[in-house]
Amino acid sequence: MTAELPIGRARRRADSSARRFSRLSRTTFVGGIALTAALFAVGGWERRWIADDGLIVLRTVRNLLAGNGPVFNAGERVEANTSTAWTYLVWFFSWLTQARLEYVVLGIALTLSVAAIVFAMLGTARLWGGTAAQLLLPAGALVYIAVPPARDYATSGLESSLVIFWLAVLWWGMIRWSQAEKVRLTSFFALTFCAGLAPLIRPEMTLVGALALLMIFCAPLPETRLRPWVFRAVIVAVAGVVPVLYQIWRMGYYGLPYPNTAVAKDAGGAKWGQGIVYLWNLVGPYWLWLPLLVLAVAGLLVMRSRRDGEQTGRHSIVHPSAKQTPRERIHSFSTWLRTPSAVVALMLGSGFLLTVYEIRVGGDFMHGRMLLPQLFCLLLPVMVLPLKLPGALTGGEMGSRRTDYVFLIVLAACLGTAGWALFAANTTAIKTGTKISSSGIVDERVYYVLNTGHDHPIRAEDYLDYPRMRAMVRDIANNPNGGLLINSPSFMNWYIAPPPEPIPDGGAGHTVFFLNLGMTSMNVPLDVRVIDQMGLAYPLAAHTDRLTDGRIGHDKNLYPDWVIVDAGMVDKKPWMPWFLDERWVTQARVALSCPETQDLLASTRSPLTFDRFRHNIQQSLGFAKYRIDRVPKYEIQRCNLVDPTDPNAPK
């Protein structure tokens, strides 16, 4: 008995050390989440703003609240916002709180951005086995919040915060599903429903959601009384009920199978060279490849260092042997689909494919914005890294040299990542400020800060200090009869094309033709029609062909001659602005009479009867592909019409 006393004391000391380490690991993890979330919240708040494109969303929300429907201009059914879920989320909280729209969207965006980091870190912690016998240190999370565009678009009024929040929740839910011994049906169908929302979060997120649903569909099913084929049918129904119903409604209401923004920017086009430029514009200045490489190596090293029997049982990866039958191989693969390693492969593969897609379409004009979801996906498996301390530090048994080696590598990776984060967070990638470089890419927040003179341009009236905005508001007020406001070729003055007489009581209404839709539309009443030459809110411009060498994101430019005719303004000099050509206007009038073009315009402007709804559904794919030539003369030729200005044309 006397010999056993030292052994008993040693065991008690070991148990006490283990309990202390367990408390330390939990405290470290919770503190790491709190610190990272706080840093992101402070960083996002310090760079708070709402972009011009963010104000575009609010114009649609204003129309919803006013009872005009989900449109940008009353009487013209155009889906000017890419994220359907973001539009209705902002609308709901605006209706609920009755607060100013800019402050509502600012609060929602920052909250979702911070919550995304929290869910991402929680999901990764589950991937690495929690806080048992290891410390979980922030790693990939620091990389994401350190990149300046991530903090810029933590607010901005755009759907970026919603996208990363959805990715984080999907990641967390998929990891829980892959590790659960017994899957609860409520959480299972909540995960399925979440994955199914992908196309409403943002169209390209359909790739991530579809792959996640395919994994869930093909993996072993939870235990139920339903037959497998019936249960899988329920999965399809739960995942598809909202997006499918909305898709039917979208095609009937808007006459398109996807948002009008995808038509305006030709989301199916290819500009590989510009896409590479856009990728390097984010990766190069911050040396972003360095932490990605370091964390990838550290993550792989931790995985390889795990004991062979650590993930035995149902979660072990089944490798098909040569003796297995095809049915057994399929079963083995199906079993693997419900493992954490499969979920990691899902997110890494999605991040890679989305990056390739973004490069293909040429990226964007906003620095870093369209690559943030891809970066988030690639960082999810290493949002935190597990640091398993050597036994000498925890009071446990001495580990092997390999364990000590892994400890040192992971510790160095975490410290190196933190050091890099300090460098990246204080790096300015684009130094041109108010000027747009030859690449067409701009630091959007800095650009508007400098051009408005406001450190935090948030409210619509903050943008009145942007060049030409106050003059636009003044000219509308000074011309009660209405008319079409067009900016001069020098972008210095507004010119007004008047409506034809007789002028109805109350005026003929105003139309503004200008590129900056957000600041323009949010500083005028809803009865002022606001359209743009690129086509985000103007179907006629959206369906023109893409300019080969145009600035990315702005490579459509409809001539104002078309708008004179379409808006029904006086088309003769001297009433028409001096820089317009009567000949071109006459040709545009004939070109607009093209039957296919008239059918396209009717899909958004005709009263929404049942027959119109049905016709829109039937023709939506054709409308999406339809293009016109921006030069009226060539459009007349394309439609086989008669050019009235051609002296040789048949009478």
Tens digit of pLDDT for each residue in 614-635?
999 999 999 999 999 999 999 9
Torsion region of 532: left, alpha or beta (phi above 0 gives left; psi -120 to 50 gives alpha):
beta
Supply the pLDDT for residue 373: 97
Q: Which of 17-21, 418-422, 554-558, 645-649 has the lowest mean pLDDT?
A: 17-21
On the question of a cis peptide bond just before residue 502, with omega within 30 degrees of 0, the verdict is yes
Half-sphere exposure of 188 (CA within 13 A, CB side): 23
> In a 3-state reduction of DSSP, which class is residue 537?
coil
Print the SS3 string covering 562-590.
HHHHHCCCCCCCCCCCCCCCHHHHHHHHH
Q: Residue range 229-243: average pLDDT?
A: 95
Residue 322's contacts (CB-CB under 8 Å, 6 or more residues apart) are none
Answer with the residue of higher pLDDT: 143 or 308: 143
List, as one string, the DSSP characters of 192-257: HHHHHTHHHH-GGGHHHHHHHHHHHHHSPPPP-SS-HHHHHHHHHHHHHHHHHHHHHHHHHHHSSS
First to last CA, the chain: 120
Tens-place pLDDT, residues 157-182: 999 999 999 999 999 999 999 998 88
Structure confidence at residue 382 (pLDDT): 96
- The candidate with the shortest Cα–Cα distance to 250, out of 215, 289, 203, 297, is 203
The candidate with the shortest Cα–Cα distance to 302, out of 168, 140, 421, is 140
SS3 347: helix
Which tens digits make up the pLDDT trace of 57-106?
999 999 999 999 999 999 999 999 999 999 999 999 999 999 999 999 99
pLDDT 10s digits, 573-610: 899 998 999 999 999 999 999 999 999 999 999 999 99
**Alpha carbon distance 22, 28 (integer Å):** 10
Residue 303 binned pLDDT confidence (cut-offs 50, 70, 90): confident
The answer for residues whose C-beta is within 8 angstroms of residue 443's C-beta and 6 or more apart is 152, 367, 428, 429, 430, 432, 433
What pLDDT, on a 0 to 100 scale, did the predictor assign at position 241? Answer: 96
d(CA 165, CA 37): 13
Tell me which of 225 and 294 has the higher pLDDT.
Answer: 294
At 316 the pLDDT is 44
pLDDT digits (tens, 9 = 90+) for 511-539: 999 999 999 999 999 999 999 999 999 99
Res. 15 pLDDT band, cuts 50 70 90: low
User: Tell me, what's the pLDDT at 14?
Assistant: 52
Cα angle 272-275-277, degrees, rounded to a multiple of 5: 115
Which tokens is 417 given?
A: 């990542």
Q: Is 624 exposed, middle or buried (0-12, 13-18, 19+ CB in 10 A)?
A: middle
Residues 498 and 557 sit within 8 Å (Cβ to Cβ): no
What one-character DSSP code corresponds to residue 519?
A: H
Question: 138: part of which helix (H) or strand (E)?
Answer: strand 135-138
Instruction: Give the pTM.
Output: 0.93
Please report the pLDDT score of residue 518 as a whole number.
95
Residues facing 533 on adjacent strands = none
**Cα 355 from chain centre:** 13
| Secondary element (H or E) of residue 371 | none
Closest alpha carbon to 268 in 79, 546, 82: 546
Strand (E) or helix (H) holding 531: strand 529-531
The mean pLDDT value for 38-50 works out to 96
Q: What pLDDT is stored for residue 400 in this prediction?
A: 57
